[in-house]
Copies of this chain bind each other. A is one copy, B any other.
Amino acid sequence: MQPLLDAAEVERIIRDGVPMSEFASMRVESVSPGSALVRIVFQPWMIRPGGTVGGPVLMLAADSAMYAVVLAHIGNKPMALTTNLNINFLRRPEPVDVLAEGRLLKLGRRLAIAEVLIRSEGSDDLVAHVTGTYALPP
């Protein structure tokens, strides 16, 4: 599973096509065989009751990491579409940056399946675990 694009190229494609990724200060930190790491820079509007990072921000991080790892391995085909996403929330995420590591479980001709491990900056514990499916353009 050799990547076709590097982190900067993947970030540019996502930033160009998905305005909300800029809003959420999404950055593609790195790309490696079968995986991609995405950062969401913490901002005060991201909190929820209890002072932790809200669930929709983790879901945005997960979707971005899946999109990043898929694009990195299929090239500049932004019409790849999520068809399913399942997220389990494990621990309350501190109000700091969110790091989402997307890993391809399968890259087929028509479908890609990935998992995403989500952590808070500065901790090894998972705050959420995600699996999802992408339908790939022909």
Chain A residues near B (Cβ < 8 Å): 17-20, 23, 44-50, 54-57, 59-60, 63, 78-79, 81-92, 105-106, 110-111, 113, 115, 126, 129, 131, 133, 135
Nearest B residue to A22 via CB reads B45
Can you list 21 pairs linking A and B with CB atoms under 8 Å apart?
Answer: A18-B47, A18-B48, A19-B44, A20-B57, A49-B78, A55-B63, A55-B85, A56-B59, A56-B63, A59-B60, A81-B92, A83-B113, A84-B84, A84-B88, A88-B131, A88-B133, A90-B105, A90-B106, A111-B135, A115-B129, A129-B131
Nearest B residue to A129 via CB reads B105
Let me know if B50 and A79 touch, CB within 8 A. yes
Interchain CA distance A92-B82 in the complex, whole Å: 11
Interchain CA distance A91-B107 in the complex, whole Å: 11
Nearest Cβ in chain B — how far from A131, in angstroms?
6
Q: Point out the residues of chain B lying under 8 angstroms from A47, CB to CB.
A: 18-19
Q: Point out the residues of chain B lying under 8 angstroms from A115, CB to CB.
A: 129
